[in-house]
Amino acid sequence: MRFAHFSDIHLGFQKSRPLQSVEQDVFERALDDCIRRSVDFILVCGDTFHANIPEMRVQKLAFAALRRVHEAGIPVYAIYGSHDFSPSATSVIDLLAETGYITNVQRLANNDDGTMSLGFVTDEKTGAKLAGISGLGASKDITYYEKLDRDALEAEPGFRIFMFHGAISEMRTAGDAAQTVDAAMPLSYLPRNFDYYAGGHMHQYQLNTFENYPHVVYPGTLFAGFHSDLAENAGGAKRGYVLVEFDSTGVTDVRQVEVKNCEYDMIRINATHKTSHAVNEEIHEKLAGMEPDGKVVLLNVSGKMSEGKTTDIDFAAISDGLHKKGTVEVKISRRQLSSAEYEITESQGDTAEEIAVNTFVENIGQVESGFPQITGTRGAKLAKRLLDILSKPALENEPLNAYQKRIADEVAAELGLDEEGEGEEDARDESARDEQIERRPPA
């Protein structure tokens, strides 16, 4: 008998079409491989989706793939992760459960003594017994473990699997600690002596055995659910799912099944004590020796330059040049890049609004421009208003194109542009808005 263990698929995470295609292909090939191997059932331990209601494209591909699994007679047992679960709204994963394509394993109930009991779901074909707790945002699910009646779970006979979505302190790696902000919980929060512990949430493959806790396993992400996952892929990290063999005596074999995604090239540039011109030359020298056709190229530029501005490096032209050479996608990381000639300093103020405006005012003087409306106090206040608009989240169930148009329209209105994108804001209107900003109470 055998089962497959998945977690952290994060369907819908990728925003560019080339990487969306890779994301879909990896997901479909992994499930098709499970069908080919005739697994008895599949476990999915949270974060099947990157959002509780992903775009229709993602929903369509997920339903189609899981329908094939269902028609092959393979049950899919799932718990929810912090990304695909919503406490206040129906999630697409709820719809999958309603259709019968997946079974939600969590069976939590409150007891009169303040504890919580957890029921089992039994796989009809193999007799395996599954119990699990879904992951919630901000580690709220840890309270479930604190109240859990573990004695009753540990007394259950038979082959038992415990499914969970959360970081275990004893297994947390430096990479996972940097990626996840949720607190880790001790291994002792889980019931003891189950045959297999199916984990989710940590994105690196891990298999460990502890006293009273055999086979504690994280499959890791199937492709990428964080931007840093792509960097790990480029560094040689294997991605896939876990295949588990078992019989009436327990687990007999656990192994990772690799599902290849794409090829990568990684370029790292340390800009410390270098001029912007030197950094530009170094990037182009490294690009000249590459064959990026059909690959994902990751460019990481970090450090403080001694001379020049970060804008002297034309990252857009670099990206365009790579795409012309057949690159699948270009991911550029420059968040840690700065220059000694241009440093942002945070100013003081009594409110968050004052701090933001004062910071813009004190730093915007470093920007050279022939347009007075974007410099000085006037420009700082305009920048703050634009930042407020661009920081607005999408509304619940708002399509991406509608969200983008709404934000673009608000930006255009703030800049005083007409429908053709031309025109300049009337100075009196802007002055009035500036006065309103100054009088507006802090948020």
> Per DSSP, which regions of 141-262 are E strands?
160-164, 196-198, 206-210, 213-218, 240-247, 250-258
Q: Measured over all CA atoms, what is the biggest interatomic distance in the chain, rounded to whole angstroms? A: 81
Q: Give catalytic residues, as residue numbers.
A: 83
**Distance from C-alpha of 268 to C-alpha of 301, rounded to nearest angstrom:** 6
* Cβ atoms of 55 and 23 closer than 8 Å: no
* Cβ atoms of 5 and 45 closer than 8 Å: yes
Q: What is the helix (H) or strand (E) element at residue 16, kind and residue range?
A: none
**Distance from C-alpha of 22 to C-alpha of 20, rounded to nearest angstrom:** 5
Burial class (CB in 10 A: 0-12, 13-18, 19+), 153: buried
Pull the structure tokens for residue 375.
């410099």
Residue 193 DSSP SS3:
coil
Residue 210 DSSP SS3:
strand
Q: Which of 431, 403, 404, 405 is nearest to 416 (CA)?
A: 431
**Distance from C-alpha of 2 to C-alpha of 310, rounded to nearest angstrom:** 54
First to last CA, the chain: 58
Q: Which residue has the tokens 């006037």?
A: 378
Residue 4 phi/psi, 5-degree rounding, is -105, 145
Pull the structure tokens for residue 308.
């020049």
Pull the structure tokens for residue 227.
């931007």
